[in-house]
Structure 1
Amino acid sequence: MVAHNLSHMTMKAVVSALRQDIGDVRVFLVNQGSTDGLAQAADALYPDVVTTHHYPPLPSLAAAWNLGLSHLLEGDGGKVLVINNDVELIPETYRLLLADGGGFVTAVGVTPTAEKPFDPTVGDLSKSRPHPDFSCFLIRRWVYEKVGPFDERYLTAFCEDANYHIRMHRAGVDAKCIDIPFLHHASATINSLPVWEKERVMKQANKNRALFKREYGCEVGSPQYYALFSEGIK
C-alpha cells in the first residue's frame, strides 16, 4: 500500500487488509512524505504493518510499487496483493483472488452514492473481464519477472498502470478483473491536496499522458488503446 496523508482513510484500508480471512496477513506501507500523522499512527497502532518512510517522497507511484514488490515477491509465497490507501476490502478479497490462480487478477472498485450504497456481494467468479483495476490487484512473482518493474518514467502518478497492462498483454499475461467488489473512495488523494499541489500533480499527469501517447500512439481509454489488446503477442 502506498499512501500520502489521508491517515483516516489509510487506517481503514489497513484494517480491512489485516482482516482478510486468508490469515497471516502483513501490510507493507510506503509512506510518501505524509505530514498528517500517518507515519506515527501506522507504526504505533499495528504491529503487523511494516512502514517505510520517504522524506522527500519517492518520485512516482511506480517507484513505490517497485520498492514494495521487489522486496515482498522474494518471499516464500511469491505473490502480493497491492491496494490503494483509499479502499476498503471485504474479508474474502485476498482468498478469492488467490483462488482464481491467475498471474494478475484484480477485484473491482465500487464508489457508493446516496442512491446506490456499497453492496459487498461477490458475483460470478467463473466470469472475468480484461479490464484490470489497479486499485486492488494480486500479482505473482512470475508475472513481475516476465514483464519487469513498473515504468518509473511516469513520474508522480497516471498512466503507469495502462503502460503495465499493455506490457502484460504483449508478454502473454492474461490480466483480468473478477467480480469481487471493494469500496473505493475514488480520487481521494488528489482531491485532498491543496490547490497548488493539485495543479502540480495534474501538470505531471499531462506529461505522463503525452509520454504514453508517444510510446503507444494513442491515448489511454481511446478506441485505439483498446485495439492494442486485440493485437497478437509480440
Structure 2
Amino acid sequence: MSMFPHVTIIVLHWLNDQRTQRCLEALQQLDYPQYRIVLVDNGSHNGSLERLRASFPSIEILALAQNYGFAGGINPAIRAALATHTDYIFLLNNDALIAPESLRLLIAMHQQNPHIGILTPVAVYEDEPTRRAGLGFRIHRYECELIGWDERDEPEQQPHPIVLDAVFGTAMLIPRRLFERVGLFDERFFFYYEDVDLCVRARAAGFVVAYTPHVRVFHAVSASTAGIRGLRFFYLGRGRQLFFRKHRSAWQRVVYRGRELYKLFREAPFRVKYEGMANVVGYLAGSLAGLIMPVPKDR
C-alpha cells in the first residue's frame, strides 16, 4: 500500500441540506491527496439533493428512491467503492465536521497500527467543543456501557490508539479488507446499533476497534432526527433489542427479554420526567417491536 492510500469518503444525506453542505465544504478542505467523496441521498425528495448537486457539481452522488436507514443507505455506496481500487472507506455523518488534517492523521495512525479494523476520532459537541459527545462502548452481557459521554474533553497528544469494544458510526475509517472479511452493515437495524453490530463482528474476526486521542470530529448529535419527536428513541429501543438478541445464545435471550420487559415498564414513569412523554412512548414502542421481531440469525 502506498504512503497515501486511496480513500472513499461516504456521506449519507437526508433532508437537511444546510448541514450536509457544511460537512461537504469541510471535506473539500482536507489536506490529504488521495480521496473522493460520494454523497448518498436517502430518498429526500424535498429539493435538497438538487441544491447540493448545484453547489457541488464535482461530487459523486448516489440517489436512492426512498429512506433505507443508515445501513441500507450506506451499503450501496460501500459496495460501489469496493468495486474500485479504493483502500479505505471513511464514513462521516452529514452533521459532523472534521478539520483539514484529520483524514491524514487517521490514515497515518492506521498505517502504524494495521491490526485495527475500525478507527474513529474523538467526537465532541459542535456547539460545545470542550465536551465529548461519546467515544464508544464497553459491551457487557446485557448492557452497553457508554464511554466518554458528556465528559470534559482533555486534549491528548499520545500517538497510541485506545481500544474499545465498539465505537460510534459518526466518523469511521475502515480498511477494505474488513468489509471483505465480515461483510457490510446489517440492514435489519435500519437506524442505531448497526455500528455497534459491525464492531462486534469485526472483533470476532480478529480486528481491533479503537479511537485515536489526538483527532477530533465536531458533531451535532442526532441532528437528523431532532425535529421528529420520539423517532430517535424508537430506533434506539428497537436497535438495542435486535443487537442483544442477535449476539446472545438462546438461553441468554430468554433471560434478556425478561430483564428488559421488567426494566422498561419499571423505569417508564421516571423517564417521562426527563425525556418527555413522546420519547418514552417511542422508546417503549421500539423496544417492544425489537423484542417480538423474529430473532435475527448471523449472516
Normalization by structure 1: what TM-score?
Answer: 0.81
The reply on whether 1:44 has 2:59 as its aligned counterpart is: no
The higher radius of gyration belongs to: 2
Cα offset, 1:90, TM superposition: 0.6
Cα offset, 1:72, TM superposition: 1.0
What secondary structure is seen at the aligned counterpart in 1 of 2:72? helix
Q: Is the 8 A contact 1:122 1:181 kept in 2?
A: no
Q: Distance in 1 between matches of 2:126 and 2:60?
A: 30
Match of 1:109 among 110, 120, 123: 123
Q: Is the 8 A contact 1:107 1:133 kept in 2?
A: no
Partner of residue 213, structure 1: 244
> What do residues 94-142 of structure 1 show as CA deviations (whole Å, max 9, x unaligned)?
11111122332111210145594898x7732224232433211111111
Match of 1:91 among 100, 113, 116: 100
Q: Distance in 2 between matches of 1:92 and 1:34?
A: 31
Q: Distance in 2 between matches of 1:17 and 1:26?
A: 10
Q: Is the 8 A contact 1:82 1:135 kept in 2?
A: yes
Amino acid at match of 2:243: F
Describe the shift of the 1:164–1:28 C-alpha distance in structure 2 as closer, same or farther (beyond 3 A): same
Q: Which has the higher strand share?
A: 2
Amino acid at match of 2:61: T
The reply on whether 1:9 has 2:43 as its aligned counterpart is: no
Cα offset, 1:73, TM superposition: 2.4
Q: Distance in 2 between matches of 1:40 and 1:92?
A: 29
Query: Runs of 5+ in structure 2 lacking a partner?
Result: 1-10, 133-152, 257-299
> What do residues 19-64 of structure 1 show as CA deviations (whole Å, max 9, x unaligned)?
1100243211111122443201221111331112223222x21111
| Structure 1 vs Structure 2 CA RMSD | 2.5
The reply on whether 1:142 has 2:177 as its aligned counterpart is: yes
Partner of residue 34, structure 1: 44
Describe the shift of the 1:114–1:154 C-alpha distance in structure 2 as closer, same or farther (beyond 3 A): closer
Answer with 163-172 or 74-83: which moved more. Answer: 74-83
> What do residues 57-107 of structure 1 show as CA deviations (whole Å, max 9, x unaligned)?
22x211112111111123223211110000010111111111122332111
Describe the shift of the 1:210–1:115 C-alpha distance in structure 2 as closer, same or farther (beyond 3 A): closer
Amino acid at match of 1:79: Y
Q: Distance in 2 between matches of 1:105 and 1:34?
A: 29
Partner of residue 259, structure 2: none
The reply on whether 1:158 has 2:192 as its aligned counterpart is: yes
The reply on whether 1:72 has 2:81 as its aligned counterpart is: yes
Amino acid at match of 1:185: A
Amino acid at match of 2:234: K
Give the percent of matched residue pairs that are identical in Structure 1 and Structure 2.
23
Partner of residue 72, structure 2: 63
Q: Is the 8 A contact 1:20 1:92 kept in 2?
A: yes
Q: Distance in 2 between matches of 1:2 and 1:144?
A: 18
Q: Is the 8 A contact 2:182 2:205 kept in 1?
A: yes
Describe the shift of the 1:33–1:105 C-alpha distance in structure 2 as closer, same or farther (beyond 3 A): same
Match of 1:188 among 210, 217, 223: 223
Q: Is the 8 A contact 2:30 2:99 kept in 1?
A: yes
Query: Runs of 5+ in structure 1 lacking a partner?
Result: 220-234
What secondary structure is seen at the aligned counterpart in 2 of 1:26? strand
Amino acid at match of 1:61: F
The reply on whether 1:172 has 2:206 as its aligned counterpart is: yes
Q: Is the 8 A contact 2:168 2:196 kept in 1?
A: no
Q: Is the 8 A contact 1:90 1:182 kept in 2?
A: yes
